[in-house]
């Protein structure tokens, strides 16, 4: 087995790491000041300028197919890049990407939604989760009913990432033929309300009250929306543990540096076994997450059914990130609990990894069912 990256892949990783270190990490103090003053982390102009710098270096639409102007990176390198981006809590993402299901758009929809989203001119939100249907996407209640040549949409979505900033929604609603995806401009009449969270995750409640859309607003096939939704969610389940690795390694580095300089009872605390074990356990768990994540991404990249592998990676990564940040805070003692250091910010932010894109409980249910029903076999390597 060859676990090495190619020269080209290493160059991509190292360039992104250098960009994050040089351009993004220095903004962390400003992000903390703004958030603690109740302001947005960074002005849109700052984030746009960063994206343009990255674009000038060739980083635009990292997973967007080349025919749409993107890099078209495969899942393994996508995971590696997410690890690098997650080494900072500055809310920076490369521009030029769109929800992958937008590539199912018709020619007219590509012109109206996909291409402007890739260009950074439009913002979408993925409106699937409801107050009574979180992990159980098959139980959504938002309705879509025909009215002549149009559709009328009624229902409420909740915890929708970017829902308050989006100018169009990818809405999933239940029609007579089954769950269907719709592209719905905000000016059609849907409304949104921000939901305050304990972290910096920006989400909203989105309401559709008799919103009328034409027949050509359907994305894909009528009744085919659930398959589209699950294809999007599947990608997130290797991205999330990748981000857990990047954040965890940054935090572990902070713990090692602090333990080497902080003295207690005449010795650096790094000399005490209680501290050493916390550092060792964190390294072991992060390494396990890293390879579980890359294996899941490799399965997706090679056309295998990656659902079981991504469930394992997502579960392990989300729980690991939370254990690591808890240990790092403990190693820093009282200072870790204050807002003078960013650890408490990481602590709040990482907690959501165990909830969105499928809770820990749902991942365990998926893993157990696959084993109990014989969908996966134990002791298999490389298949």
| Cβ–Cβ < 8 Å for 325, 248 | yes
Q: What is the arithmetic mean of pLDDT over 296-318?
A: 94
Q: CATH 2.40.110.10 residue ranges in the chain? A: 107-113+121-219
The band of 380, judged by pLDDT with boundaries at 50, 70 and 90, is confident
Q: 300-303 contacts: CB < 8 A, separation 24 or more?
A: 300/75, 300/234, 300/235, 300/238, 301/74, 301/75, 301/76
Q: Which CATH class is domain 107-113+121-219?
A: mainly beta
By DSSP bridging, strand 267-268 and strand 191-195 are unpaired
Q: What percent of the chain has pLDDT over 90?
A: 78
Under DSSP, is residue 38 helix (H, G, I), strand (E, B) or coil?
coil
> Would you state the pLDDT for residue 368?
97
**The length of the chain, given as a count of residues:** 383
Contact 306, 314 (CB under 8 A): no
Q: What's the sign of the alpha-carbon dihedral 363, 364, 365, 370?
A: positive
CATH superfamily of 227-372: Butyryl-CoA Dehydrogenase, subunit A, domain 3 (1.20.140.10)
| pLDDT at residue 235, rounded to an integer | 64
User: What would the two tokens of residue 363 be?
Assistant: 């991942």
pLDDT at 280: 98
Q: Where in the chain is the domain with CATH 1.20.140.10?
A: 227-372
Residue 135: pLDDT band by 50, 70, 90 thresholds?
low
Q: Give residues with Cβ within 8 angstroms of 278, minimum separation 6.
A: 255, 327, 330, 331
In whole angstroms, what is the distance from residue 2 CA to residue 258 CA?
35
Lowest mean pLDDT: which of 44-58, 128-142, 274-288?
128-142
Those residues whose C-beta lies under 8 Å from the C-beta of residue 225, and which sit 6 or more positions away, are 172, 173, 178, 179, 180, 181, 219
DSSP for 50-66, written as a single string: HHHHHHHTT-S-TTS-G
Among residues 23, 67, 357, 361, the one annotated as catalytic is 357
**Could you tell me where in the chain the CATH 1.10.540.10 domains are found?**
7-98
CA distance 260 to 173: 55
- Contact, 367 vs 375, CB < 8 A? no
* Contact present, 170 and 124 (Cβ < 8 Å): yes
Quick one: pLDDT band at residue 284, thresholds 50, 70, 90? very high
CA 223, CA 237: separation in Å to the nearest integer? 24
Average pLDDT over residues 348-362: 92
| Residue owning tokens 């390198």 | 77
Return the structure tokens found at 339.
């807002």
- At 365, give phi and psi (nearest 5°): -60, -45
2 half-sphere exposure, CB direction, 13 A CA radius: 3
* Residue 72 CB coordination number (10 Å): 14
How confident is the model at residue 204, as a pLDDT?
95
pLDDT of residue 236: 64
Return the percent helix, strand and coil in the chain, to nearest 5.
Answer: 55, 15, 30
Q: Per residue in 29-75, pLDDT tens?
A: 999 999 888 888 888 889 999 999 999 988 999 999 999 889 999 99
CA–CA gap between residue 74 and residue 66 (Å, rounded): 12
Closest CA to 115 of 97, 127, 136: 97
Largest Cα separation within the chain, whole Å, is 81
The CATH code for residues 7-98 is 1.10.540.10
Catalytic-residue membership of 357: yes
Do residues 259 and 365 lie in contact, with contact meaning Cβ atoms separated by under 8 Å? no
296 contacts: CB under 8 Å, gap ≥ 6: 237, 238, 241, 306, 309, 310, 312, 313
Which has the higher per-residue pLDDT, 371 or 44?
371
């Amino acid at each position: 087995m060859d676990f090495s990256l190619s020269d080209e892949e290493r160059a991509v990783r190292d360039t992104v790491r250098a960009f994050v270190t040089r351009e993004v990490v220095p903004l962390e103090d400003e992000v903390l000041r703004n958030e603690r003053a109740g302001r947005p982390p960074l002005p849109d102009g700052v984030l746009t300028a960063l994206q343009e710098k990255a674009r000038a270096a060739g980083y635009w639409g990292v997973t967007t197919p080349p025919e749409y102007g993107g890099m078209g990176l495969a899942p393994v390198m996508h995971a590696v890049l997410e690890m690098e981006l997650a080494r900072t809590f500055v809310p920076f993402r490369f521009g030029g990407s769109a929800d992958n299901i937008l590539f199912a758009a018709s020619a007219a929809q590509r012109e109206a939604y996909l291409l402007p989203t890739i260009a950074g001119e439009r913002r979408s939100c993925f409106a699937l989760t409801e107050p009574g249907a979180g992990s159980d996407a098959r139980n959504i209640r938002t309705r879509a009913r025909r009215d002549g040549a149009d559709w009328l949409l009624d229902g409420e979505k909740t915890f929708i990432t970017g829902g308050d900033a989006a100018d169009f929604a990818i809405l999933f609603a239940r029609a007579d033929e089954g769950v269907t995806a719709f592209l719905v401009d905000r000016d059609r009449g849907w409304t949104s309300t921000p939901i305050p969270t304990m972290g910096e995750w920006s989400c909203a409640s989105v309401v559709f009250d008799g919103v009328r859309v034409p027949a050509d607003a359907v994305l894909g096939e009528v009744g085919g929306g659930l398959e589209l939704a699950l294809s999007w969610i599947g990608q997130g389940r290797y991205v999330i543990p990748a981000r857990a690795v990047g954040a965890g390694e940054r935090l572990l580095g902070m713990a090692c540096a602090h333990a080497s300089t902080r003295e207690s009872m005449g010795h650096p605390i790094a000399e005490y076994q209680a501290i050493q074990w916390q550092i060792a356990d964190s390294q072991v768990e992060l390494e396990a997450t890293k390879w579980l994540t890359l294996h899941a991404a490799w399965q997706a990249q090679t056309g295998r059914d990656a659902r079981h592998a991504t469930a394992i990676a997502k579960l392990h990564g989300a729980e690991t990130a939370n254990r690591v940040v808890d240990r790092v805070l403990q190693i820093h003692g009282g200072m870790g609990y204050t807002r003078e250091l960013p650890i408490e910010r990481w602590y709040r932010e990482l907690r959501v990894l165990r909830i969105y894109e499928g809770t820990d409980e749902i991942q365990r249910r998926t893993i157990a069912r696959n084993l109990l029903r014989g969908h996966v076999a134990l002791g298999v390597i490389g298949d």
